[in-house]
């Protein structure tokens, strides 16, 4: 039995295969199944047998394949001259002979030689070299003539006419210093030969056989490159209704996929537009909110020292952040500079309160006026209503302080509802009008946490 009785799983070429360095490995973890057993039993004796009788099958076979013979050519040393010197650098190709020009590509054949010896009649009228050169030039001239006439497309099989006229040939060949009569004879001989051959006698100028020429004796057809099909499936493409339908189905599927993708692109673009609009909306709302909030602040938290509304309304104050309070406060740098140094703080207070007084008149009471009903309610920035706070029994810390020792508290407090819904009073510097915690404040007092109530 030389084959396994079961069919092994096809081998995965990407899978790492263990390499067993010894046949013993086979035996050691051998399981007692009959197939494997027999396989191994088969291998081991074979190995032993081969080890004992060293043989070289392929080598033996090679020496057994007989081939035809060869002999040495005795004239070789004479025919080929010792004139080659190998340069130290690698040799580079020159242009092809046809491009170099002067080389006589044509070699006389038997027919030419016979004609020449008859023509010469033992005298040296025309040397073989000159004859070769003349025939070569006639061929090239005729080729050029056919090229000019646009007759080069002919393929092998159809006769190729001689277009070169003797007079034309004469004009060019005159420079070779050959007698007129000799040229005439050579031309006649060449033309006759050409008519007989039906094709150029210089092989380079002979056209290739047609692509669909099936004659196996005709060789070196041009090969159309574009026509090659890439996959096997394409190569055995059948031209019938079934495959037509199949291809139509493929086309339908692809069209559907395409429109689906286009719709998808549209949808995603719309989504992006929506997001962008929302962002713009948010920004505008925030900007708007800042303005209204401060108005509200000033109105609602009358007990707290408000900010100058001038700061808030200025275009520079626009800030893209969700924490309105903290973002807003440090923005007052110009004001801060104005307020600096500290001793200017006292006259400031009445001015501010006067402005605040004015605004209170203009703005009606109640919840802040929402111009846009869609405006999201940012709970933690909601201003506190002092009335409601009072009802709930919550007092701003500074009012508590007023009842205490200090009449002029070092801090002022601003109330708001925090993120978690707690009511937060931010302690802020009265003079600087910045929160105590603020990093870019000039004044950095020891850092008590903002007090929270509730």
Write out the binding residues for another protein, residues 87-106 only, by CB under 8 A: 90-94, 96-97, 103-105
- Give the residue, chosen from 1, 34, 66, 123, that forms a contact with another protein under the rule CB under 8 A: 66
Minimum CB separation of residue 126 from another protein in Å reads 14
**Among the listed residues 265, 272, 292, 301, the one whose alpha carbon sits nearest the alpha carbon of residue 416:** 301
Are the CB atoms for 164 and 142 separated by under 8 Å? yes
- Closest CB to another protein among residues 81, 362: 81
Q: How far is the CB of 104 from another protein (least distance, A)?
A: 6
Judged by CB under 8 A, the residue of 159, 222, 387, 445 near another protein is 222
Cross-strand partners of 416: 383, 424
Q: How far apart are CA 325 and CA 316, in angstroms?
A: 16
CB 136 within 8 A of CB 106: yes
Q: Smallest distance, Å, CB 162 to another protein?
A: 17
Measure the CA–CA gap between 305 and 433, rounded to whole angstroms.
8
* CB < 8 Å & 24+ apart, contacts of 275-280: none
Running DSSP on this structure, what letter comes out for residue 86?
Answer: -
Three-class secondary structure of residue 424 per DSSP: strand
* Closest to 143 measured CA to CA, from 159, 167, 168, 164: 164
Among 18, 347, 350, 446, binds another protein (CB under 8 A): 18
Token pair listed for 129: 């070299």
Half-sphere exposure of residue 351: CA atoms within 13 angstroms, side-chain side: 11
- 142 and 172 Cβ atoms separated by less than 8 Å: no
CB of 212: closest distance to another protein in angstroms?
Answer: 12
Nearest residue (CB) to another protein, 221 versus 355: 221
Near another protein in 177-206, by CB under 8 A: 197, 203-204, 206
> Which of 3, 16, 227, 449 is the binder for another protein (CB under 8 A)?
16
Contact with another protein (CB under 8 A) among 1, 3, 5, 17: 17
Report the 10 Å Cβ neighbour count for 192: 12
**Taking the CA of residue 274 as centre, how many other CA atoms within 13 Å lie in the half-sphere pointing to its CB?**
6
Q: Does 23 bind another protein (CB under 8 A)?
A: yes
Check residue 82 for interaction with another protein (CB under 8 A).
Answer: yes
Of residues 228 through 247, those in contact with another protein by CB under 8 A are 228, 230
Alpha-carbon dihedral 78, 83, 87, 92, rounded to 10 degrees: -80
Closest contact distance (angstroms) between CB of 150 and another protein is 22
Q: How far apart are CA 34 and CA 318, in angstroms?
A: 87
CB of 239 to another protein, least distance (A): 22
Tell the smallest beta-carbon distance from residue 191 to another protein (Å): 17
Give the footprint of another protein on residues 33-62 (CB under 8 A). Answer: 36, 39, 43, 47, 50-51, 54-59, 61-62
- Which of 1, 71, 234, 354 binds another protein (CB under 8 A)? It is 71
- Residue 4, interface with another protein (CB under 8 A)? yes
CA contacts within 13 A on the Cβ side of 198: 6
Comparing CB distances to another protein, the nearer of 51 and 354 is 51
User: Which residues pair with residue 435 across a beta bridge?
Assistant: 428
19 binds another protein (CB under 8 A): yes
- Is residue 129 within the footprint of another protein (CB under 8 A)? yes
Q: Exactly one of 83, 177, 212, 239 binds another protein (CB under 8 A); which one?
A: 83
Shortest Cβ distance from residue 236 to another protein (Å)? 15
């Amino acid at each position: 039995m030389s084959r396994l009785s079961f069919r092994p799983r096809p081998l995965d070429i990407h899978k790492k295969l263990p390499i067993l360095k010894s046949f013993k490995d086979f035996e050691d973890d051998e399981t007692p199944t009959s197939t494997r057993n027999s396989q191994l039993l088969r291998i081991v004796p074979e190995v032993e047998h081969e080890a004992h009788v060293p043989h070289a099958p392929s080598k033996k076979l090679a020496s057994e394949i007989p081939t035809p013979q060869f002999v040495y050519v005795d004239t070789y040393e004479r025919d080929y001259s010792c004139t080659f010197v190998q340069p130290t650098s690698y040799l580079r190709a020159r242009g092809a002979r046809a491009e170099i020009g002067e080389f006589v590509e044509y070699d006389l054949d038997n027919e030419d030689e016979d004609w020449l010896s008859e023509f010469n009649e033992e005298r040296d009228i025309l040397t073989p070299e000159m004859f070769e050169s003349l025939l070569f030039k006639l061929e090239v001239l005729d080729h050029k003539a056919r090229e000019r006439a646009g007759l080069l497309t002919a393929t092998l099989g159809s006769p190729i006419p001689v277009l070169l006229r003797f007079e034309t040939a004469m004009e060019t060949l005159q420079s070779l210093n050959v007698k007129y009569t000799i040229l005439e004879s050579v031309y006649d001989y060449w033309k006759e030969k050409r008519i007989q051959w039906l094709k150029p006698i210089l092989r380079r100028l002979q056209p290739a056989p047609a692509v669909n020429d099936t004659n196996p004796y005709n060789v070196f057809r041009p090969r159309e490159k574009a026509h090659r099909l890439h996959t096997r499936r394409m190569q055995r493409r059948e031209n019938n209704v079934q495959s037509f339908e199949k291809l139509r189905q493929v086309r339908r599927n692809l069209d559907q996929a395409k429109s689906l993708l286009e719709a998808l692109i549209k949808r995603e673009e719309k989504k992006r537009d929506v997001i962008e609009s929302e962002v713009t909306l948010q920004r505008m709302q925030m900007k708007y909110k800042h303005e209204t909030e401060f108005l509200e602040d000033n109105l609602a938290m009358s007990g707290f020292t408000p900010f100058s509304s001038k700061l808030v309304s200025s275009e520079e104050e626009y800030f893209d952040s969700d924490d309105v309070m903290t973002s807003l406060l440090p923005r007052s740098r110009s004001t801060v500079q104005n307020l600096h140094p500290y001793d200017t703080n006292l006259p400031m207070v009445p001015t501010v309160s006067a402005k605040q007084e004015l605004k209170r008149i203009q703005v009606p009471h109640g919840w802040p006026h929402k111009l846009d009903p869609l405006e999201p309610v940012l709970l933690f920035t909601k201003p506190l209503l002092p009335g409601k706070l009072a009802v709930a029994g919550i007092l701003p810390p500074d009012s508590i302080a007023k009842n205490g020792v200090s009449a002029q508290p070092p801090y002022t407090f601003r109330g708001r509802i925090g993120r978690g819904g707690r009511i937060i009073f931010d302690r802020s510097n009265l003079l600087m009008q910045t929160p105590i915690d603020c990093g870019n404040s000039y004044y950095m007092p020891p850092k008590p946490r903002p007090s929270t109530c509730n």
